Structure formats: structure tokens, C-alpha cells
Amino acid sequence: MSEPRLKTEIRIAAQLRRAAAAGAFATIARRGDTDAGAVAVKVYLGARRARLFVEGRDGKGAPQWREPLDGEVDEAAVDAFLEKEIRFDRDLWIVEIEDREGRTFTD
């Protein structure tokens, strides 16, 4: 039996609080489905460099985060990837975090 999932909106609110408590700036750049939307986290590192983390599930349904762009890349590459994802998934949430340490504050 699988664990009940928290609503996406609640998980993101907690993520924003964790970021603020750690001194990072975080905001919701795009709202998706409040109950079960997927989440992408763009972490801006400075100097037009960023990392992208996309939420998914493993074979057993447990949440996992992957980096589809293989680490630190030009911010424009992250934005282009996200534009394509939005066309594919209208329920996608996008959280943007400015943190030179590269923290995501995901659960």
C-alpha cells in the first residue's frame, strides 16, 4: 500500500519556507495543478548559470529528482527546456530559487 501524497501546492509552500529560512530567494514562476502537478525546480547560481531538477517517480512510485540537463548550464538552456515541458505538461509547477550554493530545498 502506498503512502498518501501531499498536494503539490502544500509541498511547494513548505519548500519556499525552507528556502527563506536558509536565506535563499525562492518564488513560484508557474502554478500547475494544485493537487498533483509535477514540479520543476530551476536553481539560479549567478553569472547566468543554473541547474534544473525535475520531479518524477521511480519504478515503485517513490518520488525522485533528476537533472535532465546534466548539472550546471547556461540559464537560457534551462528556460528553453522548461518552455518545451510546459507545452507537454500544462499542470507543471516551476519553482525558481536563487542560491549560489545550488540548494533545491526539495522534500
Domain residue spans of the chain: 8-98
Other CB atoms within 10 A of residue 37 CB: 20
Give SS3 for 64: strand
Mean pLDDT by 10 residues, the chain (107 residues): 74 96 97 90 97 91 89 97 95 96 92
Give SS3 for 65: strand
Assign a CATH topology to domain 8-98.
hypothetical protein tt1805 (3.40.1530)
pLDDT at residue number 56: 86
* Residue 13 CB contacts under 8 Å (≥ 6 apart), including other chains: none
Residue for grid cell 540548494 = 103
DSSP string, 37-59: --EEEEEEEETTEEEEEEEEE-T
Other CB atoms within 10 A of residue 7 CB: 13
pTM here is: 0.91
